């Protein structure tokens, strides 16, 4: 499969108002891609789009405000993207949310909220836009999973469920689309400085002390700037890499799980407090 051509293409990016999504939008524009940016934060999204449009006046920069936790709104948005942006050549499913607490500490409504954003929106947007992408041989799909799509820590049942599912979805989809000339990259970020922890929900059964301890431990891992992660993702897309691990906090667990598939958590639990999402 030939390298992905950014210049003149159109990239749809979800979760584009901050973090990795914002950095990706800026770097894709720098490569000459027109942009269709989605997020639930209207003000932040407008600021990102305005800055990019001012710096790249030759590019088209469209924005759509949508809450991907609303399945019906996501379906309407997907249909709108097909109608209004049939030139799309790159889909980046980046938006994600987090939920802290053991499975018996969180409500099923919170689990459904997380699955709507992290999994169902990924599946729905990809399925709806697939005919558009297949109309442009050489198109590409990026699905952002997590290091918690590689190993599954205690305290993150819902999050790990969604991210392992994104991983499996991406791998099977890659095999199906290879003959159509469409690439699929699944991304497993490690400790990226994003806003996902700030916007995370915490289960009703989680004590204040548990929450604060988890937050402090998690913050120590957030070392990688979103711009660095975005640059690696853009390079992976260009080279059609099937899988991208970002940072030692993704690469080390990947090796550990391969070596100790059934017992890795015993080792990790000795060295870590209750885990929080990492990307």
Instruction: Provide the domain limits for residue 170.
Output: 10-271
Reported pTM: 0.92
Q: How many domains does the chain have?
A: 1
Q: CATH no. for residue 70?
A: 3.40.50.720
Query: Do the domain assignments include residue 3?
Result: no
At 28 the three-state DSSP class reads: helix
CA 197, 198, 200, 203 dihedral sign is positive
Query: Do the domain assignments include residue 278?
Result: no
pLDDT tens-digit profile of 163-205?
999 999 999 999 999 999 999 999 999 877 666 666 678 877 7
**Quick check: is 159 catalytic?**
yes
Structure tokens at 197: 């922890």
At 184 the three-state DSSP class reads: strand
Query: Do the domain assignments include residue 5?
Result: no
Q: State residue 192's pLDDT score.
A: 72
Query: Do the domain assignments include residue 142?
Result: yes
Query: Do the domain assignments include residue 277?
Result: no
pLDDT tens-digit profile of 212-234?
666 555 555 667 899 999 999 99
Give dist(CA 233, CA 141) in Å, integer.
Answer: 11
Catalytic residue from among 4, 159, 211, 264: 159
pLDDT tens-digit profile of 94-118?
999 999 899 999 999 999 999 999 9
């Amino acid at each position: 499969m030939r390298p992905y051509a950014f210049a003149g293409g159109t990239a749809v990016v979800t979760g584009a108002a901050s973090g990795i999504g914002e950095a990706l939008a800026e770097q894709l524009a720098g490569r000459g891609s027109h942009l269709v940016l989605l997020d639930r934060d209207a003000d932040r999204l407008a600021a990102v789009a305005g800055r990019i449009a001012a710096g790249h006046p030759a590019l088209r920069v469209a924005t759509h405000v949508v809450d991907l936790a609303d399945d019906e709104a996501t379906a309407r948005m997907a249909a709108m993207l097909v109608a209004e942006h049939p030139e799309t050549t790159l889909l980046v499913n980046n938006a994600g949310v987090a939920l802290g607490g053991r499975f018996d500490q969180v409500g099923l409504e919170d689990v459904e909220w997380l699955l709507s954003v992290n999994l169902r929106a990924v599946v729905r947007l990809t399925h709806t836009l697939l005919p558009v992408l297949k109309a442009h041989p050489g198109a590409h799909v990026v699905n952002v999973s997590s290091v918690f799509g590689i190993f599954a820590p205690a305290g993150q049942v819902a999050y790990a469920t969604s991210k392992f599912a994104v991983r499996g979805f991406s791998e099977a989809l890659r095999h199906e689309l290879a003959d159509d000339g469409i690439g699929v990259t699944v991304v497993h970020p490690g400790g990226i400085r994003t806003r996902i922890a700030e916007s995370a929900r915490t289960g009703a059964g989680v004590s204040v002390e548990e929450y604060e301890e988890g937050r402090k431990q998690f913050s120590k891992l957030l070392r990688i700037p979103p711009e660095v992660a975005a640059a690696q993702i853009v390079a992976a897309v260009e080279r059609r890499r099937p899988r991208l691990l970002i940072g030692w906090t993704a690469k080390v667990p990947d090796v550990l799980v391969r070596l100790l598939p059934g017992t890795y958590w015993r080792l990790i639990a000795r060295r870590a407090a209750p885990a929080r999402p990492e990307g």
